[in-house]
Chains A and B, each alone.
Chain A
Amino acid sequence: DAGVIQSPRHEVTEMGQEVTLRCKPISGHDYLFWYRQTMMRGLELLIYFNNNVPIDDSGMPEDRFSAKMPNASFSTLKIQPSEPRDSAVYFCASSPTGGMNTEAFFGQGTRLTVV
């Protein structure tokens, strides 16, 4: 398996524009997580899905952020409208169900810059 795949790797956009980040989890993993990483706050969980259903979105900062998982192999994180304070690295991770030995696997991240 190629691992968790995120696109794009880098995104530069102007304030007010819509941004869509994409993630393909590892096949067979039924948990998918979206994290945001900044220097100030470290890694923060935004939302996670189980079997394509959002389970906990309490970390989504505000209504400008939305996430979907239309099927088991694809998820999107959308920011509309984007603001400079949204600049961060956004990571997607996936994990299988089953036991204490289940690991989380992370994608390479999308570095978002809003100018």
Chain B
Amino acid sequence: KQEVTQIPAALSVPEGENLVLNCSFTDSAIYNLQWFRQDPGKGLTSLLLIQSSQREQTSGRLNASLDKSSGRSTLYIAASQPGDSATYLCAVRPDTGNQFYFGTGTSLTVIP
């Protein structure tokens, strides 16, 4: 069964810093990987999706990379803002079966 881990579990940074969130998965046979944001008491908002054939995806200040062979993905947030404070979750979709396996999440706090 796919295991997905996110490190660190919590991160606190001053506004303006660049930061990296990590996601690792045990089975490299994936279809795609998706990064989500979750605000307290809210649902999940999709940020970026990387196909298994891709190396990275960018959206605004966010850049996600994927190294499938080593079972790793990173989410890079440039010039962090207080509004970026949320929990960030990664999810992998295996290439057999259609469910999504979620990581444990990283709780990010950006201090003004």
Query: Which of A's residues lie within 8 Å of B, judged by CB?
Result: 31, 33, 35, 42-43, 45, 48, 50, 55-56, 91, 93, 95, 100-109, 111
Chain B residue at smallest Cβ distance from A31: B98
B49 touches A101 (CB 8 A): yes
A33-B46 contact, Cβ under 8 Å, with A100-B53, A103-B34, A104-B91: no
Chain B residue at smallest Cβ distance from A101: B51
Contact count A vs B, C-beta below 8 Å: 54
Majority secondary structure, A binding face: strand
Which A residues are in CB contact (< 8 Å) with B89?
Answer: 43
B53 touches A56 (CB 8 A): no
Which B residues are in CB contact (< 8 Å) with A56?
Answer: 97, 99
B32 touches A100 (CB 8 A): yes
A33 touches B105 (CB 8 A): no
